[in-house]
Chains A and B, each alone.
Chain A
């Protein structure tokens, strides 16, 4: 099975823009999905099909794709956005990235 690679951590100040990347060989032909997980809570889907936002997810969350890399962008980061973020895709099986801890300074 293939792998998805994320940076372990990203730090931003409130109001700035956070970008979290996810790289994988299958991403040019398979969609990516992003989940937010806060401590002690179940994951929440924040982006599907690379760039679509589920209802109820704030507009500051957006997604994009370029070649083998997809990016989750959080514009105007708020303290409540501090969480772990995971990308996920499916090729021959389902795979998650290792996760990125977003710290709001």
Chain B
């Protein structure tokens, strides 16, 4: 069974600085999808960024980028120029391509605080 591990329960960063959130996963599959979701205090889950495992190029979305290391099964999220609105729980998630419905398997989350 696939598992997702986020080893940093909490992190903090000063506004305008850069922070990296770690995520590792375990799978025997070669093709899959990876996601980062953000959950602010409002508890709404919001997709931040996604990556297809067969694409070597790291995904980027404005201030958010990933470092995808397939061999190491690592998928870290980098947030540049951190803003107060980035304060939230961040969840890394795995999706198998051999699952017909699109089941997301989530890590335990990292609580990020951006300090002024």
Real binding pair: no
